[in-house]
Amino acid sequence: MEQRQGFSANRNGLNGSIPRELGNLHRLTYLSASINDLNGSIPQQLGNLHLLTYLILAYQTLSGPIPESMGALTNLEYLNLKFNRLTGTIPASIANLTRLTEVYLSYNFLAGSIPVALTTLTNLQELSLEHNQLAGSLPSFHHLSRLGRLHARNNYLTGRAAPFPECLSPNRTSACPNDCLYPPTESDIHGNCLAESTFSCDGWQRSSHDCRLFCGARPLTPPCSGHGVCSVEPGHHDDTPAWGAQCTCDEGYTQGTAAGTCVPRGPAFLLALLLVLLLPLAMLLLLAFALPRFLSHYGC
């Protein structure tokens, strides 16, 4: 019988990048190296660990995308990559991980939409996506009967929070608590850009101003007022908007007083521009008028 192995190195002061050679440990079933100082990207070679059931690389400074090769870890049950600097989108190959019960991708810089692939993971019990740059509509998780927690707080999700069908029951006595939005008894979708709905009892949402600052997919209004190129500067992860938008405005526009906006250049700028253009002309006119008098005066 093949002997299976585990590797745990939490709080060991590890630094540097994750060695690609880890992908050669084909018997590995458990890999945990949280709360270290690992950096760089997650190597594609980890997708060779086909027996892996637990992968925990939380609380590091790992960057770059989540590799598509993760979709080859078909025995994976627990995935924890929270509190890193991961970017890019959540790979669609995650749909292959049908044994997943818990997924933690919170406190990163993941962008794009929440892949519909996540809604096919019928064994999922907990899904944590909060504090990222996720945009687009919030998919329906109604049919995931085992899902006990859904956290998508502080992103830039748009559209409406679709109610769980029981919310529509005329016999329901309560207004529509959080456990009616989705099957989970603990769902948190605060701090997004969701439209108000009769059945969305999800608490506070970002203001239209905060949503306008976001440069990602489908903001509520065009970034930079449609007159510039928007870039996002990551901020601190807390309950305030974590992404500050900076605009490189088109010619004739300048950064508005509200961040993430471009406004036509004002009268002061136009006056300065007019002076700059007229000054050389004024000098030429003065020279054309004064030079003949000067030459005449000195008998030239």
Q: Which tokens sit at 96?
A: 């292959």
Per-residue pLDDT of the chain (300 residues; tens, 9 = 90+): 345 588 888 988 899 999 999 999 999 999 999 999 999 999 999 999 999 999 999 999 999 999 999 999 999 999 999 999 999 999 999 999 999 999 999 999 898 889 988 999 999 999 999 999 888 888 878 778 888 888 888 888 877 665 444 444 444 444 444 444 444 456 777 777 776 543 344 456 776 656 655 554 334 355 676 777 665 544 433 333 334 456 778 888 887 766 667 778 766 556 666 777 777 887 888 777 776 776 676 665
Residues 6+ apart with CB under 8 A from 245: 213, 214, 215, 223, 224, 230, 231, 232, 233, 259, 260
Alpha helix (H) residue ranges in the chain: 178-181, 208-212, 267-297
User: Which runs of E-coded beta strand occur in the chain?
Assistant: 5-8, 15-17, 28-32, 37-40, 54-56, 61-64, 78-80, 85-86, 102-104, 126-128, 135-137, 149-151, 156-158, 186-188, 228-234, 243-249, 253-255, 262-264
CA-to-CA dists, residue 51 to 32, 97, 280, angstroms: 14, 12, 77
Question: Token pair 């850009």 is at which residue?
Answer: 193
Q: What's the whole-model pTM score?
A: 0.68
